[in-house]
Chain A
Amino acid sequence: KQEVTQIPAALSVPEGENLVLNCSFTDSAIYNLQWFRQDPGKGLTSLLLIQSSQREQTSGRLNASLDKSSGRSTLYIAASQPGDSATYLCAGTGGYGQNFVFGPGTRLSVLP
């Protein structure tokens, strides 16, 4: 059974810092990986998708990478802003047509 861990569970940083969030899967055979953010009481917003043929994706200040040999992914946020404060979740699927398995999330607070 696929299990996902995210480290750290919570993080508080001053505005402007660069930071890294980590995600690890017990089964390294990840087909697609997706990073989301969730604001309190809201749905999930997709940030980045790493498709089966990719190892990395970038969007603005965000960069996500996936090491398929270890089943580990990192989300890099550059020059953090207070608006980045949210819970960040990673999710992966083991193959086409299989459901996504989610990590517990990292709660990020960026202080002005």
Chain B
Amino acid sequence: KAGVTQTPRYLIKTRGQQVTLSCSPISGHRSVSWYQQTPGQGLQFLFEYFSETQRNKGNFPGRFSGRQFSNSRSEMNVSTLELGDSALYLCASSFDREGTYEQYFGPGTRLTVT
């Protein structure tokens, strides 16, 4: 079974631009979560989508948004990029059955904002 895939793997953008990152979950998984990882803040939760609906949201500004499609693939968008948005963005998928909620992570997208 194929793992979680993320595209692109690396991205360089300029301040003020916007960016869209994509995540394809493991087949059959309905939940996709997004995280931002930086050396100073560690792994911080952005949001989670389950069956095309945002189920949980972290404490990030509205510049960060996401969506999930009917095939469970998810995208996250960051508008008006700031230097502090430079980070490794990770997505994780889960089958999500009550009592068992195991997350599987993709390789991440390394975003550099200059």
Contact = CB atoms under 8 A, between A and B. Distances in A.
The answer to whether A binds B is yes
Interface of A: 31-32, 34, 36, 41-46, 49, 51-53, 89, 91, 93, 96-105
A96 B101 contact: yes
Contacts of A34: 102-103
Contacts of B102: 32, 34, 46, 49
A20 B99 CA distance: 26
Contact of A42 (B48, B101, B107): B107
11 contacts: A32-B101, A43-B106, A46-B105, A52-B99, A89-B43, A96-B101, A97-B55, A99-B45, A100-B103, A102-B42, A104-B42
Given A99-B33, A99-B56, A46 B104 contact: yes
B66 interface: no
A46 B103 contact: yes
Contacts of B21: none
Contacts of A104: 42
B28 interface: no
Top-5 shortest CB links A-B: A44-B105, A102-B43, A99-B56, A43-B105, A49-B102
